[in-house]
Amino acid sequence: MNDRTVTVFGGTGFLGRRVVRHLRKHGFSVQIASRHPDRGHRLFGLDPQIQSVEANIHDERSVADALAGAFGVVNAVSLYVEHGQETFHCVHVESAERVAAQAHRAGVERLAHVSGIGSDAASPSLYIRKRGEGELAVRAAFADATLIRPAVMFGPDDAFLTTNLKLLRRLPIYPMFGRGLTRLQPAYVEDVAEAIARALQRTKMHAITFECGGPRVYSYEELLRAVAHEASLKPMLIPIPFAAWHVLAWFAEMLPNPPVTRNQVELMQVDNVSSPEMRGFGQLEISPHSVEEILQQMS
C-alpha cells in the first residue's frame, strides 16, 4: 500500500465499488471497510493495492482500525430500510459522525461523505431529515469534509432504472408514483464515483458540497417514457396516488427484499434535482452521461 491510501466504508456497494476502481485509476491505494470483507476479496482479489478489512461503522474500534494511517476516507454506507437497531439515525447521523470524528482524530486529510440531493434536517420525511442531520454532524466533526450529494443513480446493476426497465417489459399497464410529475435528474454511477475520486484529489480541502445530477431533468413520467422508448416499448402509464403507495410499501417492508419501501415513496414525492448555485460535475470537469446513452450501451 502507498502513502495515499483511502479507506472506503461501503466499498463493496453499488456506488462504493466504483469509487474503489476510480480511486485506483487516480493512483490511490484503497482499503475497503465493510461487514463482509470476503465480498471485497471477490471483487478486487487480484490487485495488491486494494485490501479488504472487516469493519462496522457502529463500532468505534473497528472504525479506528480501518482508518489507521489513511490519507483519505469515503463514507458510502447506505441504509434504505430500518430494521432492529439499524435505524436511519444510527447509520446516517451517529455512525456518519463517528467516521468523521475518528478520521479527524486520526489526522486523515480528506473526507468525502456521501449523502443525497435534497438532504434537509428540517424535512418531515424521517429519511431525508436524518440525511440532513448527518451532513451537519459530519461537518461539525470534520470541518473540511466534502459532501457528495448524488441524484438518484443508474448503472447496469442499479435498483432504479434497471428495475423500472424490467417491470416495463413485464407489465402492459405500469403504475406510476403519483401523477408522474416529480422531477428527477438521474446521474450515472460511474460519473459520481469519478467525482468522488477527483474531489479527494484536490490539492486543498475546503468544506465544499457537490451535487451530482445528470445532464437532463425529467419528470418521472418522461423518464419512464425515455426508458421504454430505448427498449422499443409503449407501456400504458397509470397514476397511483402516493397514499396508496405508502400502504403498499408498509406491507412490502415485511418481505426480506422489499420491492418498494416507504422511504422510496417519500423520495418520489419530492423533486430530486441539483440546485444551479451548488457545485457539481462541471466544477470537477466531468461531462455526465445521459440515461439514453448508457441504456444504448447496455442493450
| Cα–Cα distance, 218 to 273 (Å, whole number) | 9
25 near ligand NAP, judged by CB under 6 A:
no
Check residue 57 for interaction with ligand NAP (CB under 6 A). yes
How far apart are CB 12 and ligand NAP at their closest, in Å? 4
First to last CA, the chain: 38
Reading the block at residue 125, the C-alpha cell is 420525511
- Quick one: residue 69, left, alpha or beta (phi over 0 = left, psi -120 to 50 = alpha)? left
Q: Does 279 sit near ligand NAP (CB under 6 A)?
A: no
Residue nearest to ligand NAP (CB): 13
Using CA atoms, how far residue 283 sits from 18, 23, 110, 286, in Å, is: 20, 18, 18, 8
146-150 and 110-114 strand pairing: parallel
From 67, 74, 76, 294, residue interacting with ligand NAP (rule: CB under 6 A): 76
Residues in the chain: 299
Beta-bridge partners for 53: 33
In this structure, the number of other CB atoms found within 10 A of the CB of residue 163 comes to 12
Residues forming a β-bridge with 6: 30, 72
Q: Measured from the CB atom, is 36 or 202 closer to ligand NAP?
A: 36
Residue span binding ligand NAP (CB under 6 A) among the ranges 49-57, 224-232, 242-250, 252-260: 49-57
Residue 35 interacting with ligand NAP (CB under 6 A): yes
Task: Tell me how far apart the alpha carbons of residues 93 and 197 are, in angstroms, rounded to a whole number.
Answer: 23
Binding range to ligand NAP, per CB under 6 A, among 51-59, 164-172, 256-264, 276-284: 51-59
Could you tell me which stretch among 75-83, 174-182, 217-225, 241-249 binds ligand NAP (CB under 6 A)?
Answer: 75-83
Site for ligand NAP in 89-148 (CB under 6 A): 114, 116
Q: Give yes or no for a contact between 177 and 240, defined as CB atoms under 8 angstroms apart.
A: yes
User: CA separation (Å) from 162 to 155, 165, 192, 248, 265?
Assistant: 8, 5, 18, 21, 17
Tell me: does residue 58 bind ligand NAP (CB under 6 A): yes
* Closer Cβ to ligand NAP, 9 or 220, answer by number: 9
CB of 19 to ligand NAP, least distance (A): 9
Contact (Cβ atoms closer than 8 angstroms) between residue 5 and residue 33: no
Residue 200's H or E segment, with its range, is: helix 189-201
- Considering only 36, 61, 169, 202, the residue that binds ligand NAP (CB under 6 A) is 36
Q: Check residue 72 for interaction with ligand NAP (CB under 6 A).
A: no
Q: Which stretch binds ligand NAP (CB under 6 A): 55-63, 164-172, 202-210, 288-296?
A: 55-63
| 199 binds ligand NAP per the rule CB under 6 A | no
Q: How many CB atoms lie within 10 A of CB 145?
A: 27
User: Should residue 150 be labelled a site residue for ligand NAP when binding is judged by CB under 6 A?
Assistant: yes
Q: How far is the CB of 182 from ligand NAP (least distance, A)?
A: 14
The binding site for ligand NAP (CB under 6 A) comprises 9-10, 12-16, 34-36, 39, 55-58, 76-78, 114, 116, 150, 152-153, 160
